[in-house]
């Protein structure tokens, strides 16, 4: 009876050992299977993908805008240069609000030595050249005092008297030897209309230079 009791106890011990070993083996297999399965994670660990931070594309060319220092002027472009030769001098003054030959207007006049720069000043319109108006610039400076020096230097001036184009009523002179192009769209305002007699005097003087 003692041997039988001892055998039963040994069997029970061995059974529990086998059962415990089998349970540990199953648990280990389950843990390794979870760790190798995509998308699974241990508690407390976030599996959300990190957001990508966009980096500036250094290879993309930067847009640069070139700005001209000179004002845009001219029919469809910049100032092409003064008119050369004898223009077709025509008196066509018409008080219709649009600039016409025979009228004195205020507009942008380029400097003779640098057409990229200039200033607003009165101009006597004397004709047309395609889409351009042709004009002679005015000044209130008296050139008669140094006429000999002016003749040697080149510029030729003629008195046209005073008119509504000068608010101070000062006598004006018109330059005869430089014919500038005027874009009708660049005319600031009409100053006055020169009478036909004085216009014809200016036209005669311009023709005499040619």
**Which of 2-11, 26-35, 44-53, 105-114 has maximum average pLDDT?**
105-114
Give the residue, 72 or 149, on which the prediction is more confident.
Answer: 149
> What Å distances lie between residue 51 and 48, 54, 56, 133, CA to CA?
9, 9, 16, 65
* Alpha helix (H) residue ranges in 74-123: none
Q: Please determine, looking at this structure, whether the domain spanning 103-208 carries the CATH number 3.30.450.
A: no
Query: pLDDT tens digits, residue range 45-64?
Result: 444 545 554 444 444 434 33
Query: pLDDT tens digits, residue range 152-169?
Result: 556 799 999 999 888 899
Phi, psi (rounded to 5 degrees) for 76: 80, 15
Give the residue, 58 or 135, on which the prediction is more confident.
Answer: 135
Spatial CA neighbour of 195 closest among 165, 168, 156, 157: 165
Q: Tell me the domain boundaries of the chain.
A: 1-38, 103-208
3-state SS record for 185-204: HHCCEEEEECCHHHHHHHHH
Contact 108, 118 (CB under 8 A): yes
Contact 140, 166 (CB under 8 A): yes
To the nearest whole number, what is the mean pLDDT of the chain?
77
Per-residue DSSP letter, 97: S
Q: 194 in the Ramachandran plot: left (φ > 0), alpha (ψ -120 to 50) or beta?
A: beta
Contact 120, 105 (CB under 8 A): no
* Alpha helix (H) residue ranges in the chain: 2-36, 147-153, 196-208
What's the whole-number mean pLDDT along residues 97-109? 94
pLDDT of residue 57: 45
Residue recorded with tokens 């014809």:
200
Phi, psi (rounded to 5 degrees) for 61: -65, 140
């Amino acid at each position: 009876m003692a041997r039988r009791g001892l055998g039963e106890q040994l069997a029970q011990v061995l059974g529990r050992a086998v059962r415990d070993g089998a349970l540990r083996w199953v648990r280990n297999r389950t843990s390794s299977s979870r760790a190798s399965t995509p998308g699974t994670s241990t508690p407390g660990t976030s599996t959300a993908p990190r957001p990508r931070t966009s980096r500036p594309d250094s290879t993309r060319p930067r847009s640069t805008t070139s700005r001209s220092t000179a004002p845009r002027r001219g029919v469809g472009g910049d100032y092409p240069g003064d008119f050369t030769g004898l223009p077709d001098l025509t008196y066509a003054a018409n008080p219709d609000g649009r600039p016409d030959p025979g009228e004195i207007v205020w507009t942008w006049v380029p400097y003779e030595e640098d057409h990229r720069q200039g200033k607003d000043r009165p101009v006597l319109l004397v004709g047309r050249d395609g889409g351009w108006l042709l004009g002679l610039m005015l000044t209130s400076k008296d050139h008669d005092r140094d006429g000999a020096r002016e003749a040697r230097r080149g510029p030729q001036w003629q008195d046209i008297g005073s008119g509504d184009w000068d608010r101070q009523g000062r006598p004006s002179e018109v330059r005869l030897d430089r014919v500038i192009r005027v874009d009708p769209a660049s005319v600031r305002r009409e100053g006055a209309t020169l009478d036909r007699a004085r216009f014809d005097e200016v036209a005669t003087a311009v023709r005499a230079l040619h």
